Amino acid sequence: MASRKRQRALQLGIPALVIGALTFVALWRVGTPRTASTGATAKPVPLPPVATTAEVLLPTSIGRRASLENVRIVSVASARTLWIGSEAVRVFVVLDPDVEQSHEARLTEGARVTLTGLVRRAPAPADAVRQWSVDADTAETVRDGGIYLHVTEVRPGA
């Protein structure tokens, strides 16, 4: 009786073991995709940084780095926030609490600066008021625009 169970286990176990080994080898051989020309593993190409105020306002810019050179400050909304660009195309800017700011860069209306940061989705107005110390109207305007620029570095404009 015991030998019959052992024989039945071998009849089922050995084919299962062979199938498992062949599956492992097949998956190992497939591996990661390779490019046709070099044989190297394909990596996504990062998008270049956003370079204009108009580009910042595009929904496809959310999550991208931004490097805006020689932009004009339209107005200063609070100690950490300002509007840049022109009257026609304005971008809301929030300075990181640990922003790297050159002592030569002046954050006053009409000044020109170079900003480096990340394009982000606008928060709820209540969060904007609490985090950035802006008035409710400004928070609503930013929410309606849907996008703002979180700046980590400020240098003087050229």
Per-residue pLDDT tens for 39-49?
566 788 888 99
Higher pLDDT, 95 or 7: 95
Q: Considering the entire predicted model, what is its pTM? A: 0.71
Q: Which residues pair with 83 in a beta bridge?
A: 75, 92
Whether the CB-CB separation of 83 and 92 falls below 8 Å is answered with yes
pLDDT in tens, 72-120: 999 999 999 999 998 889 999 999 999 999 889 899 999 999 999 999 9
Superfamily of structural domain 53-156: Nucleic acid-binding proteins (2.40.50.140)
Whether the CB-CB separation of 73 and 111 falls below 8 Å is answered with yes
Q: How much is the average pLDDT of 3-20?
A: 78
Q: Mean pLDDT score of the chain, rounded to an integer?
A: 88
Assign 13 to helix, strand or coil. helix
Task: Tell me the residue length of the chain.
Answer: 158
Query: What per-residue confidence (pLDDT) applies to 26?
Result: 79
Query: What per-residue confidence (pLDDT) applies to 43?
Result: 80
Query: What per-residue confidence (pLDDT) applies to 25?
Result: 79
